[in-house]
Structure formats: C-alpha cells, structure tokens
Amino acid sequence: MIGMRQIESDEARRIVDSDAVRPPGELLRIAEARHEGGRGGLGLEYGRDEEAPDRYLFSTDVEDADGIVWHLLLDAHSGDIVADVRTPEDNEDLPAEPAPQGP
C-alpha cells in the first residue's frame, strides 16, 4: 500500500488554489464512481506520497451499494486511482483486500 503523509489544511488550501491539484469535490466524484452506488465523504484529506514527496495524494473512504467501505488513494493532480482497498474496520468479518480491477 502506498504511504501518505497528511499535510496541514493551509497547505491543502494553497495547492488547491494554485491548481496544483484537483478540487476535493472533483476527486470525491472520481472515487465515488469507482464503486457502484458509491457514497463518499467519510473522510477527505490531501497528503504527500511518502516515497515521492513532490506528488500529492487525496484520500477518502467510499461506501458502496452493498454497505462495504473502500479506502481510496488518488493522485491529486491527475485523479488517477493509485490504491483501492476494502477496509476491515467497517467490515470486521471481511479481510482487507484490493478491489477487483475493471476491464
């Protein structure tokens, strides 16, 4: 799993205002579209990739139509999904695992 170091809210505001990253609403819509019936906003944050600190990431949790919660990391500039993992905390009987890949 890719590691992310959370950034302060003033830095997050600065990178959004400077167009270095996409706005949170746009990234959230991308994350929600990943899972059928996806509803997000269960936590939104920007951070820096621990292995590539010049790269900003966006983290959120999305609940799908079946009530399964997925933790997603997106490249905050491109909107590409870089990680998509089912969360064991909200699905105690299910192990954490990557989401199935699309076609």
Residue 35 belongs to some domain of the structure: yes
Task: Report yes or no on 42 lying in a domain.
Answer: yes
Is 96 a member of any domain? no
Q: Is residue 8 part of a domain?
A: yes
User: Over pLDDT 90: what percentage of the chain?
Assistant: 75
In-domain check, residue 40: yes
- Stated pTM of the model: 0.82
E-assigned strand segments in 7-52: 44-49
As a whole number, mean pLDDT of residues 85-99 equals 63
- The whole domain housing 63 covers 4-86
Q: How many CA atoms within 13 Å lie on the side-chain side of 38?
A: 20
Structural domains counted in the chain? 1
User: pLDDT (tens digit, 9 = 90+) per residue, 65-81?
Assistant: 999 999 999 999 999 99
- Structural contact between residues 69 and 63, judged by C-beta atoms closer than 8 angstroms: yes
Residue 95 covered by a domain? no
At 49, the amino acid letter reads D
Q: pLDDT at position 92, please?
A: 53
Report d(CA 38, CA 102) in Å as an integer: 15
- Report the distance separating Cα 75 and Cα 83, nearest Å: 9
Say which CATH number the domain at 47 has.
3.10.450
Q: Residue 94 pLDDT more than 90?
A: no
E-assigned strand segments in 1-103:
4-6, 44-49, 56-63, 69-75, 81-86
Tokens of 66: 């079946």
Question: Which residues touch 12 (CB under 8 Å, ≥6 apart)?
Answer: 45, 46
* Residue 94, in any domain of the structure: no
pLDDT of residue 103: 46
Whether residue 11 has pLDDT greater than 90: yes
17-47 per-position pLDDT tens digit: 999 999 999 999 999 999 999 998 778 999 9
Whether 100 is covered by a domain: the verdict is no
